[in-house]
Chain A
């Protein structure tokens, strides 16, 4: 009997595990929609980076500033729409809120949407709106809906075969509402091959692609060689070919290939020059631990968590740049949703936003500049977004208000009540850079007085997703089959790309 020899098999030439699983029973098959062939048009982006402002980023405090009134005792809450003055950006009519000067300096490279409106899901929950933003569907769903990153990974595959197609930076799963976070940070029915490669702490990213803790590269290679020799002599390995065994070995080869590839070095931030890191995280100190305090709580001042986590998002952006250089397909970098922390500003809104802006301003602007300098911005679509916006008074939408979650005093006597403490869903901001998006462009108009809702060019999630897919050359009515039913990559296949966002 001819025995297939493991050692001679060239796994690098073999189909990737992704191809393999796509062919196998039980995995979702693509059903091409009517627009699929049209989408074969030249894509304008190969890579997508989502910068996720988890917790509800107030548009009026960031990229859509309105009437500002500084804090004073006894101020009625309807006396201000923004708690920061406006600043100029590099694009004449577009103003930002103070604290975002660096991003304002690259606005000429981007497109700003001010009219993203989130779904009406009743009582407003971060878990459900984050689910809707990431899957395009309102929860709950009767099948496990995939994250947009998984859809892209499944549809386009990795850009560099050694690089995981969907990399998720800065998200832990043991924070509040943990299971709900997992409910959308998943490949769902597409199968875990397309799921997120999680890097919860960017400063430890190298560990995710290194030999396990404490193991030298030499020992790691020895261990691998030892395994292959044992495998070769294993009586079962000589008993003929089987699909299960081959898929097991092939997945192992893929993993090993990633660990040994130049792509793996992209995960190692210690290879980045110090001055370059400091452009992302100005007070970066080598060796400092940028992890998150396990405690949670809604203290008025910066909590221990926020003090320790400052810099984590910046390092995440730097990591995103390095991964993009090595051919990543989809990356999400999140400021991480933790109840009452980060963008979840239920109180002390003004002071908290000073810190949040400090956290995001430098790294986002630097990411845009770095990618541009490296000639990568044209083929990389950066999408900054949040699950909804905020307002000082309105919870939900003006015409569909829902139960309030925080109490707003009639007169603001203390700074902790000065800010955007309620969830507002009728207009929020999305920023796009690169990947074919227009430069220095504004899409959508919002009201100048409360309610600061959209008044022109409303953007909904399926159209935003369709636009991202458009840049990648994916049709909005592409569907995957699950339980013999079609599951469209935008809700019911109805998403339409917003062509105004793209072009010269």
Chain B
């Protein structure tokens, strides 16, 4: 997919100084130095960033030359000096960018420098190659690796730790947090976020009437204790991450293996996260589908053999870093190298893996190792089972502060709209609030990697309970945290909500969910995550599980709207639902309307809404009228969005 690997790599080392020296004639033809005072930040930095850093910055040193800072610049490369401060005509850098010799022109890839840019570079060197010491192109070391426990000293001592840690952040950004959302909004959020279902009206009423001061925490706990619905809801999240619950043949020849029974049982029993991950990294037959990967029949690209898939997927899902670039060539966007990707793949491979760069064997091999040696080392001479066991030990060990932070960040992103670290699969980057990320991660580990404890902790913070912040299409993305953002229901949440309102659930669970040894199990109701993806679910964004999916698209699409407007599945469900609702025999049109509003939206219709809707329900009650009302209700943004 990338052609970076095809970069002709003329070795800088071959260029000897004598070959680089410009003749007087060439010097005369150089663009003259700019006749003004040059500012490094304004004039030079943009040139370096656009044309040089891809090979010579952020720690990279092609030809032994790196220009992360002035010291490195002055050290030159394998061929000798790069710049002679005060004398641009004698500086090799100028000779190279001038490009008199086609074979030795810099940059080697991309657009040549313009005469104006060369003039600026010359003037800068002539003026002493002054470099603002505050500017460095060095890449900061990866963040979020070691476990760190922040001091809880901000805010009020009685406050939730997350809010205490956010207090200085809010103060710094001059933001006065508003009151938390009302009970109705809170209830809708936690019901959908925790178990993926709409709050049933009676339970919602009971919650609203509850006057215990800690009723929100108690509600969260009560929902967390609904083990079956919790497991079904979170099955979707983990199926996406672990690319489980595919359909079809699995690329023939037993090329894939599902892990649904293991996964469901793990979620239902709230298996401690380190144990959960250990069983995925160092699997039993029940959980081996994840690292076994997809075995395609025929010849596949070297970067996609099963051991490389395991390398990419373990890194991305549990460590929050993307090794896909580095699976074909040293990454150009971060520091990952081919050897990192192959080193981790080597843990899973039966044979020594030869590094293949963009489908060309390099002749080199990579010793099996973990991508962050500071977190733990693997004995390359150990047997495959020993290596895998050791890998699981490193990934799930208490010293690994990345495992916990990655999950905390994924949950924060799910519940509040944006991650503490963004993008969520670039966990080497720093969080906008390292304190919150670190504290939640440590607290999670301290509590035995109890996932439900982590969820409860986030949901009982004021941060989670703040009113949602409207976004515009331009402001999409993290700016200053002021509260959660409005989120769209997932395909599964929407389909289940539709079932709740219409009363029409699925007939039977997928055979992949209920395999033979689960045959007697009673799933009731049979929710969207338990059935194969239908056209409606696909249109709403349920992915094919060929690749790991850590984030689904959040934008409503026209194809989805078409499916909601005249799709056969929605139409069938609404039709059947209308018949059920008519048969429910409500005493009056108003009672029916109120019941449907309470089920769908968690509130009664307003007088204005009732004035519009009641004429539709005038006796004799027509199923078609109820069907149209159901449709209108589920199409409302108030229904489809999580407030």
Contact = CB atoms under 8 A, between A and B. Distances in A.
B298 A122 contact: yes
Contacts of B449: none
Contacts of A488: 1-3
A240 B470 contact: yes
A180 B488 contact: no
Nearest 5 CB-CB pairings of A with B: A179-B248, A122-B298, A122-B299, A212-B571, A255-B561
A251 B636 contact: no
Interface in B323-348: 324-325, 327, 333
Contacts, number: 259
A159 to B, nearest CB: 15
B379 interface: no
Interface stretch (B83-91, B228-236, B267-275, B562-570): B562-570
Interface stretch (B9-17, B121-129, B206-214, B624-632): B624-632
Interface string A131-175: 000000111111110000000000000000000100000000000
Nearest to A190: B553
A164 B299 contact: no
A227 B641 contact: no
A249 interface: yes
A120 interface: yes
Interface string A25-56: 11100000000000000000000000000000
B324 A483 contact: yes
Given A138-B300, A213-B568, A251-B561, 20 more contacts: A128-B298, A137-B1, A143-B547, A164-B559, A177-B248, A192-B539, A212-B568, A212-B571, A222-B628, A223-B631, A227-B635, A234-B637, A243-B471, A248-B641, A252-B564, A254-B558, A254-B561, A491-B1, A492-B6, A493-B3
Interface string A229-242: 11101111100111
A440 B396 CA distance: 66
Interface in B604-643: 606, 608-609, 612-613, 616, 624, 628-629, 631-633, 635-638, 640-641, 643
B2 A485 contact: yes
Contacts of B546: 140, 144, 179, 183
Interface residues of B, number: 84
A402 B327 CA distance: 27
A193 interface: yes
B559 A141 contact: no
B409 interface: no
Range of interface residues on chain A?
A: 35 or more
B473 A243 contact: yes
Nearest to A198: B535
B173 interface: no
7 contacts: A17-B558, A143-B547, A177-B249, A180-B251, A251-B561, A402-B298, A484-B322
Interface string B560-586: 111011111011000100000000000
Nearest to A402: B298
Nearest to B469: A242
A27 B552 CA distance: 10
A195 interface: yes
B514 interface: no
B554 A26 contact: yes
B474 interface: yes
A23 interface: yes
A22 B372 CA distance: 36
Contacts of B301: 138, 140
Name, among B475, B628, B633, the residue most crowded by chain A CB atoms within 10 Å (CB to CB).
B628
Contact of A233 (B477, B486, B558, B612): B612
A69 interface: no
B185 to A, nearest CB: 10
Given A211-B566, A242-B486, A493-B3, A226 B561 contact: no
Contacts of A251: 556-558, 560-561
B566 A209 contact: yes
